[in-house]
A and B are shown apart, each in its own frame.
Chain A
Amino acid sequence: MPPPVQVQGLTKSYGDFQALKGIDFEVHAGEVFALLGPNGAGKTTTVEILEGLRPRTGGSASVLGFDPETQKQALKDRIGVCLQDTNLPDKIKVAEALTLFGDFYERRVDEDNLLKRLQLWEKRDVFYAHLSGGQKQRLALALALINDPQVLFLDEPSTGLDPQARLEIHALVQDLRVERRTILLTTHYIEEAEKLCDRVAIVDEGRIVAIGTPREIQARTMGHSTIEVLCEKPVPEGELPIWTGSERVALSADRHSISVTSRHPGKTLVELVKWLDERGIELADVHLKRPTLEDAFIELTGKRLRE
């Protein structure tokens, strides 16, 4: 069975500006896949082409076997979409919105169950204008699920939400992941991609610069694990040794703290602790900082995500 989402050589130009410069990826059935990148990287343009919202300039795209450009209506009936920056009329009630959108599709799920599942049951008679940001986003997710879609597109699902509301949205996406729905989400939050996704594509300036599981991408920067050791008493005068795998060693001015960057942090740590023990120095604290997806992003693109 072909993957539900297939993209090859996708390009998009606005006049002289090339927003997408040849994007290739696939999203497999039941997978949560993220396009991760800073604002303006081309994430939203990519998903909007796949949702049938805008035409592509070149390349090919297929969602559930439909061409998003020529089979829009059939495609839209089968997918769920949670867009960035959309609204509903201020005076529509939560339950009314679900009923309205349910009538646009061939297939629909039970609205009451959906409201309960998304913790909106108590708010079913509340006007849209009176909902909090998190509740509006939950309603947006409910509308995206009203037709029981096989593929879900979530464009920056937690942007602009407070931490509590963001956690609620993450929990909902994790529930959907358990149901083995195919989800393509865009985000510029590293932790969101790490927490929710099976695979991630890092997008920068209209290109995919890395693709794989978060662990695979992090592994590319394994040389940058950092060990930080805080000692009970100052390290004696003299040069520090070169432990296995260590690349850069730094001692604090008060000689209480050692920072070691290592390609093999496990081996380095063992040798470091042994070295300190031989000198009768007790450890007050130890930190092993693994490289994050953000480190990988910086290494791959030379810029921070929120730039």
Chain B
Amino acid sequence: MKAFFALFRIDMKLALRERSLIFFGYMFPLLFFFGFAEFLHADRGGAINYVVSMVLTMGILGNGLWGAGMRAVQEREANILRRFKVTPITPTPILLASMVTGWLLYLPAVGLVLMLARTMYGMAPLAHPVSLFAMVSLGVMAFRAIGLIVASVVNTMQETNIAVQLIYMPMMFLSGATIPITVLPPSVQTFSQFLPASYLVTGFQGIFLRSETLAQNWAPALAMLVTIATGTFISTQLFRWEKGEKTRKSAKLWLLAVMAPFLAMGA
């Protein structure tokens, strides 16, 4: 625990010293928020609930896949993790500190979007704010776990960019996060049932559009929870300290394990 808290403290300090955090963490979601709000006339007919759900999903996908994944690879490429490797710590506190830091840093963005939605576009007060907090938390942790697995299996920054794009883009456009699922062809609708982001979108839509609780959205919440557990476990197993360490081919099969809950639920 001592190592976890030490890493968490330093992760927070380092993140707050990065100017890119302000842009990618807070400005970027706001750009999307205002863009979609104006485009979809969010001040009419409750469309703002849909916009907020969309912006939060996009933010969580970015926070997890780009934030956690890229940073882990950067630290490995820069031989920073190699320095940690000669100490007695294991990968677990490093990964947990990354997940908790990403979660904490994302919460102000959620607050900001909700405040602007309420004050500028007249969004009704949330019926179940605790459920939203829980769903946001589960979502951030789940997608950071996926991001850390991606970081473990790719070998270079270039590969990371490609891998993250390959995961990020389908989740953005085929999960209902940006394009309503109902307008997509039936085959794509079936495919989207296998995407982790679809469950996050379903969870948010339940909370924002139908004023449901987390308990009423148990299926998406469970999917996120299972993803966190399997994702964290798998990323500790696949963790690589040095750029010279190549992933065992068999290790990449672990990726199927993290997809298992979505394959099961989609089927």
Contacts and interface: CB of A to CB of B under 8 A. Distances in A.
Given A76-B88, A77-B88, A89 B6 contact: no
Interface in A58-80: 73-74, 76-77
Contact of A88 (B80, B85, B86, B88): B80
Contact of B14 (A53, A83, A91): A91
A85 B6 CA distance: 24
Interface in B58-93: 75, 78-80, 82-90
A96 B10 CA distance: 8
Interface in A85-99: 85-89, 91-92, 96, 99
Contact of B3 (A53, A86, A103): A103
Contacts of A99: 6
B2 A103 contact: yes
A72 to B, nearest CB: 8
A65 B87 CA distance: 18
A73 to B, nearest CB: 5
A104 B14 contact: no
Nearest to A52: B86
A100 B82 contact: no
Residue among B3, B14, B75, B83 facing the most chain A CB atoms (10 A cut-off): B83
Contacts of A34: none
Specify the main secondary structure of chain A where it touches its partner: loop
Residue among A76, A91, A101, A104 facing the most chain B CB atoms (10 A cut-off): A104
Contacts of A88: 80, 83
B83 A87 contact: yes
Given A92-B14, A96-B13, A85 B87 contact: no
B89 A104 contact: yes
B163 interface: no
Contacts of B13: 92, 96
Interface in B213-238: none
A214 B6 CA distance: 44
A81 interface: yes
Contacts of A86: 79-80, 82-83
A83 B83 contact: yes
A85 B241 CA distance: 13
Nearest to B15: A91
Interface in B1-56: 2-3, 5-7, 9-10, 13-14, 17-18
A162 to B, nearest CB: 21
A275 interface: no
Given A83-B83, A91-B14, 4 more contacts: A73-B88, A91-B17, A100-B7, A103-B2
Interface residues of A, number: 25
Given A89-B80, A100-B10, A103-B2, A53 B85 contact: yes
Contacts of A83: 82-83, 86
Across the A-B interface, the 4 shortest Cβ-Cβ residue pairs: A103-B6, A81-B86, A86-B83, A104-B87
Contacts of A85: 79, 82
Contact of B79 (A81, A87, A106, A143): A87
A92 B10 contact: yes
B18 A91 contact: yes
B212 to A, nearest CB: 42
A254 B266 CA distance: 95
Interface residues of B, number: 24
Interface of A: 51-53, 73-74, 76-77, 81, 83, 85-89, 91-92, 96, 99-101, 103-106, 143
Contacts of A96: 10, 13
Residue among A83, A89, A99 facing the most chain B CB atoms (10 A cut-off): A89
A74 B3 CA distance: 15
A96 B9 CA distance: 10
A88 B7 CA distance: 13
Residue among B18, B80, B85, B86 facing the most chain A CB atoms (10 A cut-off): B86
B14 A89 contact: yes
Nearest to B13: A96
30 contacts: A51-B86, A52-B86, A53-B86, A73-B88, A74-B88, A81-B86, A83-B82, A83-B86, A85-B79, A85-B82, A86-B80, A86-B83, A87-B80, A87-B83, A88-B80, A88-B83, A89-B80, A91-B14, A92-B10, A92-B14, A100-B7, A101-B87, A103-B3, A103-B5, A104-B3, A104-B6, A104-B88, A104-B89, A105-B87, A106-B88
A87 B7 contact: no
Contacts of B82: 83, 85-86
Contacts of B78: 87
Contacts of A81: 86
A105 B87 CA distance: 8
A52 B7 CA distance: 22
A92 B17 CA distance: 9
Nearest to A48: B86
